[in-house]
Amino acid sequence: MKTRVLVPTYQELHTLASIVHRIFEHNPEVHVLVIDDNSPDGTGKLADQLRAKYSNLEVLHRKSKNGLGAAYIDGFNNSINEFDVLVEMDADGSHDPQDLVTILKEIDNYDCVLGSRWVPGGKVINWPKSREILSRGGNSYARLMLGIDIGDATGGFRAYKTTALKQLDLSDIDSQGYCFQVDMVRRLLKKGFKIKEVPITFTERTIGTSKMSRNIVLEAFLKIGIWGLQRVFTR
């Protein structure tokens, strides 16, 4: 199936070239769309230079930084009618392109394949205990509130069939951060789509600064709580 990997960027000048190279090294048949949020460090200019090097690379320049979810929605809308599979992948090197091979092997039989840190075989490297507790706790909270049997709904390394994405109202999605990832999972499950989790290795970035913030955590806590209450009272 024709596949495009969506790679949102903001201030990823020192990691982008490496991740693009590794994506094509391990998955030479895929296409890549870099979605840059007008990075002041020149990431967008670098992406344009890489486009000249890789024939399967395209660049989408956005005017400003207004969230991970919005970047992915723009990427979906840009790609949904041309590709069979769309992949979400970070630009900071935390997602291993070798794991993409495993994800894409499974997508034939499912509507969405999640790269999971918290299923048997999955793991994280160089995370402080506080981050692991936050991630595991966030996923437990999502399972409890939403009634979903997903080990890692907050992870950002995943593949969707575009036939499934076309059944979602993408214009109605305003979640950001890892809340966006949970939102996508709950919408797919609500529509009856099949989701598979496969183990991945997540490595904490060694260059640059994590985009995780208190606001991202708060957004997820509040929205997941609201969705959970809606689920209970609209049965």
Residue 32 one-letter amino acid: V
Q: Burial, 131: exposed, middle or buried (Cβ in 10 Å; 0-12, 13-18, 19+)?
A: middle
Q: Burial, 51: exposed, middle or buried (Cβ in 10 Å; 0-12, 13-18, 19+)?
A: middle
| Residue 164, C-beta contacts closer than 8 angstroms, at least 6 positions apart | 111, 112, 188, 191, 193
| Residue 141, C-beta contacts closer than 8 angstroms, at least 6 positions apart | 221, 224
Residue 53 one-letter amino acid: K
Q: Which stretch of DSSP H or E encloses residue 36?
A: strand 31-36
Distance separating alpha carbons of residues 75 and 193, to the nearest angstrom:
21
Confirm if 122 and 152 have CB atoms less than 8 A apart.
Answer: yes
Confirm if 46 and 16 have CB atoms less than 8 A apart.
Answer: yes
Radius of gyration in angstroms for the set of CA atoms belonging to the chain, rounded to a whole number:
17
Q: Per residue of the chain (235 residues), what is the pLDDT tens digit?
A: 999 999 999 999 999 999 999 999 999 999 999 999 999 999 999 999 999 999 999 999 999 888 899 999 999 999 999 999 999 999 999 999 999 999 999 999 999 999 999 999 999 999 899 989 999 999 999 999 999 999 999 999 999 999 999 999 999 998 887 899 999 999 999 999 999 999 999 998 666 565 556 788 888 899 999 999 998 887 6
Question: Topology of domain 3-233, per CATH?
Answer: Spore Coat Polysaccharide Biosynthesis Protein SpsA; Chain A (3.90.550)
Predicted TM-score of the model (pTM):
0.94
